Amino acid sequence: MYPKTRMRRLRRDILRPIFTETRLSPEAFCLPLFFDEAAKEEVPISSMPGQVRYPLSAAEPLAKTLYAEGVRSVILFGIPREKDACATQAFAEDGVIQRAVSAMKAAEPRLVVITDLCACEYTSHGHCGIIREGELDNDESLLLMQKIAVSQAKAGADMVAPSCMLDGMVSAIREALDYEGFSNIPIMSYSTKFASSLYGPFREAADSGFSFGDRQSYQMNPANAREAFRESELDAEEGADILMVKPATFYLDVLADIHSLGLPVAAYHVSGEYAMIKAAAANGWIDEKKVVMEAMTSIKRAGADLIITYYTRDILRWLNE
Ligand code: PBG
Ligand code: ZN
Average pLDDT across each block of 10 residues of the chain; the chain has 321 residues. List them in order: 95 95 97 97 96 98 98 98 96 98 98 97 94 93 98 98 95 98 98 94 85 84 96 96 98 96 98 98 98 98 98 98 91
In a domain, 6, yes or no: no
In a domain, 155, yes or no: yes
Give the Cα separation of 88 and 119 in Å (integer). Answer: 9
What's the CATH number where 167 sits?
Answer: 3.20.20.70
Could you tell me the distance, in angstroms and rounded to a whole number, from the CA of residue 163 to the centre of ligand 1?
Answer: 8
Give the Cα separation of 273 and 255 in Å (integer). Answer: 16
Which numbered ligand comes closest to the C-alpha of 90? Answer: 2
In a domain, 238, yes or no: yes
Determine the pLDDT at residue 215: 82
Give the Cα separation of 12 and 108 in Å (integer). Answer: 44
Stated as kind and residue range, the H or E segment containing 235 is helix 225-237
Could you tell me the distance, in angstroms and rounded to a whole number, from the CA of residue 268 to the centre of ligand 1?
Answer: 9
Pocket of ligand 1 (CB under 6 A): 116, 118, 120, 128, 163, 199, 202-203, 215, 270-271
Determine the pLDDT at residue 212: 83
Give the Cα separation of 276 and 130 in Å (integer). Answer: 33
Whether the predicted model's global pTM rises above the 0.85 cut: yes
The single residue of 40, 64, 83, 193 carrying the catalytic annotation is: 193
In a domain, 18, yes or no: no
Q: Which numbered atom of ligand 1 lies nearest the CA of 32?
A: 15
Determine the pLDDT at residue 267: 98
Could you tell me the distance, in angstroms and rounded to a whole number, from the CA of residue 123 to the centre of ligand 2?
Answer: 9
In a domain, 7, yes or no: no
Q: Please report, for residues 39, 70, 208, the alpha-carbon distance to residue 191 in angstroms, rounded to integers and kept in the order given.
A: 32, 28, 20
In a domain, 3, yes or no: no
In a domain, 169, yes or no: yes
Structurally, the chain folds into a number of domains equal to: 1
Are the C-beta atoms of 136 and 127 separated by less than 8 Å? yes
Residue nearest to atom 9 of ligand 1 (CA): 199
Domain that holds residue 114: 26-319
Determine the pLDDT at residue 205: 86
Determine the pLDDT at residue 214: 83
Write the burial class of residue 256 (CB in 10 Å: 0-12 exposed, 13-18 middle, 19+ buried): middle
